[in-house]
Amino acid sequence: MKFYPVKEENLAIHESPRNTYGDTLVQSGERFSNIVVLDADLAESTQTKRFKKRFPGKFFDAGVAEQNLMGVAAGLAMSGKIVFASTFAYFGSGRAWDQVRNIIAHDKLNVRIVVTHSGLGVGEDGHSHQALEDIALMRAIPNMKVIVPADATETKKVIEKSAETDGIMKGPVYIRLVRQNVPKIFDDDYEFELGKAVKLADEELANGDDVSIIACGVMVSKAIEAGKILKNEGIKASVLNMSSIKPIDENAILEEANKTNAIITAEDHSVISGLGSSVAEILAEKRPTIMKRIGTNDCFGQSGTHDELYKYYGMTAKDIANAAKKILKK
């Protein structure tokens, strides 16, 4: 498993993954002539407007009609294009699930469904826009890869690899971004590997043998903070970034289970069928382990700032640390 040291000064920097997405699309468009971008009347929010400005002839707005968006994306992919189809997470996963499953995934098309505004981070927009079930919907579809970048740098690396015609990202990919700015974890020297977890924080935390914290997306920085809280209390925690939900790094999960026998998962998503369930399924079959899943518990979100909501639903760094302490008592 790869180890990546996290710099304290980086965590103080907050960056926008969706802005990085927009910039990386433009850079990829300069490199590859067969890239096209689609959106659902949300280019201002998803930041695909940057690609539209640079390549107006390769940008298509499907309007507020995600089913049509995915159908057009499929047709363009069949003609040899690398297609980036963007909208909000709830609409790209739920509203268009039929077209994604029956056309894009079934035919293994090169469509990258890059969604923003996922999880509780959508904040004041409330439950109608807070996708807390989208990972579950996408990972259940055959042939679909599901990636949840931890920060803006990892977003850039994922989009760059997604722009390639062949290679590890060939076929359909679901990439889940957030609305809010997030702490910087990775520098430009970081390389994303599909299906591989990355150990984070300082060396002592990365090799912690008391408890393992496995997180994705915005919860990775919270997991790092939780690791520091535990360290101050004499508890050594491994912190893993599991941005690749499908395929998932089974070997890393089993390695952590064998070392600590105590697993915490953390995700801005329902605990049902997301990262936590993915980890639990592997452990149940191959290495039964005491674990706790941090996320929303079979409920809808509500309006509020993202910080208020993470606190209300028990998804802060302190909550992760407390869960680790409770699990160790078992």
Which positions are catalytic?
Answer: 66
Residue type for position 264: I
3-state secondary structure of 177: coil
Given a contact cutoff of 8 angstroms between Cβ atoms, the answer to whether 249 and 196 are in contact is yes
The Cα–Cα gap between 266 and 83 comes to: 31
Give burial (CB, 10 Å; 0-12/13-18/19+) of 125: middle
DSSP type of residue 190:
-
Q: What angle do CA 328, 329, 330 make, to 5 degrees?
A: 90
Amino acid making up residue 295? G
Cα–Cα dist 46/55, whole Å: 16
CA atoms of 22 and 51, how far apart (whole Å): 7
Strand-pairing partners, residue 213, are 239, 264
* Helix axes 275-286 and 250-260, enclosed angle (nearest 10): 70
Residue 242: half-sphere exposure toward Cβ, Cα within 13 Å: 29
